[in-house]
Amino acid sequence: MRFDLETGELLTPDEDEERAEPVEPGGAATDAEGITFVPDVDFTLWAKDAAELATELLGRKITTAGFRHLVLTGHAPLPIEGTEQWSQKAITEWTDSENAAATGADEDDGSGAEDAKPVHTDVFDFYERTYAVYYELHDTTPNALQRERPVMSWCHRWWLHRSVVGRLTAAWYAWEAAHADGGSAISAWILEHADRHFDRIMAEDGPLRMCKQQHTDSLDVYPAEPVPESLRLPDTDEDEGETP
């Protein structure tokens, strides 16, 4: 059974036999009205018809151009040899395999798609390509750093300040999560994470307050005595092999 592309009819087997010329198995033939077909194919479809059928079966829009691109890149069934047509059977089998692959990916780890690869390689890459872009309004007017109370202090060797690196690392992790979420997540990240860390880093009593002209390492962590071992939780891995 096949589809008459000119009239839109679905031809019966008897009509197929009347219109068709003898053809070798597996080969293409042209009937009396000039319609090319291939025996043993349920019916044939042009690219537009194939795209519409794929759209219906996949549940997502497949344009004619998009379908042809999938064919050219080897991601869709090839047309029937010697024609520009596809068989309904080939499209059905292809969409079934696509749906099965999508279902398998969703159930692969039981928790959804695999985690996306981070955009930035480390916190330093994050600072250079993303964070610094949001806070580029450095005061470059003459003698800005010599003012009695400069608006902000920044250190050109910020990466030597552990508290700054720690905050930027936290901001980086939050940015990667927001980037993966998309939508308004980046805006929320700016307001709830980036701005808060920036205000603390650049505060008058912040970790960079001594870096007026150049980096200084005069600031350090708060002093503390060693924590008593009695306050620490036991290491369960070490205790497993002990005899009570």
Pairing of strands 10-11, 2-3: antiparallel
Task: Give the model's pLDDT for residue 149.
Answer: 55
Task: Give the model's pLDDT for residue 12.
Answer: 54
Is the CB of residue 82 less than 8 Å from the CB of residue 28?
A: yes
Tokens of 10: 């679905």
Could you give the CA distance from residue 59 to residue 61 in angstroms, rounded to a whole number?
7
Could you give the CA distance from residue 113 to residue 232 in angstroms, rounded to a whole number?
38
Tokens of 75: 């991601």
The candidate with the shortest Cα–Cα distance to 191, out of 120, 132, 134, 138, is 134
Task: Give the model's pLDDT for residue 221.
Answer: 76
Contacts 24+ apart (CB under 8 A), 10-15: 10/43, 11/43
Reading the chain (244 residues) residue by residue, the pLDDT tens digits are: 444 555 555 555 454 444 444 444 445 555 555 555 555 567 778 888 888 888 888 888 888 877 877 887 778 888 887 677 888 888 888 888 888 877 766 565 555 445 578 899 999 999 999 998 888 666 666 665 565 555 567 888 999 999 999 999 999 999 999 999 888 999 999 999 999 999 999 888 888 888 877 888 777 778 889 889 888 888 765 555 544 4
Could you give the CA distance from residue 229 to residue 225 in angstroms, rounded to a whole number?
12
